[in-house]
Amino acid sequence: MSTPTPRGSDWTLNRSMLIKLVVMAAVMFGFGFALVPLYRAICNITGANSLVKRDVTAAGAKNTQVDMSRTVSVEFDANARGALSFTPEQNAFDVHPGAVTVVKYRVTNGQNRTVQAQAIPSYAPAVAGQYFEKIECFCFKQQTLAPHETREMSVVFFVDPKLPRDVKTITLSYTFFELGVQASGTGSAGKTAQEAAPAEGA
């Protein structure tokens, strides 16, 4: 007949088993976290990350829309009304239709007061306006300039490849109006720059 195991031995055995289970659970939990960077590393090595591949492919497809067979000269003109000094950093450069391009402008408030202003674009020849696509532009919203503040602003654009081939040069002209100030040359109606400015996002 076997001798019963003492109760103290049962408690020691159960505690030992509990410790082993806790350690095993902690190891498995840590391994689960380690799988994330391991998975990323394997995807980068094997190229298995289809989402990244799809983005790269889409970017490449956009680049194929650039018409490398022709160039268009884009000239930049800047005018200011009121208390502003406004100039482009470059007067002109050549672009390939479809290629995304950035041009920078600099505006300075020469007054001892805050000025609110907005730029209004125009194009020459007029037909070019429908083919000149602005992705980002300071003209989309009103600008608030602190006294004597100088600000650098960008226009990100591309010329639509559908631009008629007989158009070799486009002039992008901006006029910066100080809002709420009587604009010169408005005629007898006497419109202010606020009234002359287009709605935001135009």
CB 118 within 8 A of CB 131: no
pLDDT of residue 7: 57
User: Regarding the domain delimited by 72-196, which CATH topology (the fold level of the hierarchy) does it fall under?
Assistant: Ctag/Cox11 (Pfam 04442) (2.60.370)
pLDDT surpasses 80 at 178: yes
Going from N- to C-terminal start, the domains of the chain cover 8-62, 72-196
pTM: 0.57
Q: Are strands 115-124 and 143-145 parallel, antiparallel or unpaired?
A: antiparallel
**Residue 190 backbone dihedrals phi, psi, to 5 degrees:** 60, 50
pLDDT per residue as tens digits for the range 108-126: 999 999 999 999 999 999 9
- Which residues make Cβ contacts (< 8 Å) with residue 94, sequence separation at least 6? 71, 72, 73, 74
pLDDT per residue as tens digits for the range 1-44: 555 555 566 667 777 777 877 777 666 655 554 444 544 554 44
Give the Cα separation of 24 and 18 in Å (integer).
Answer: 10
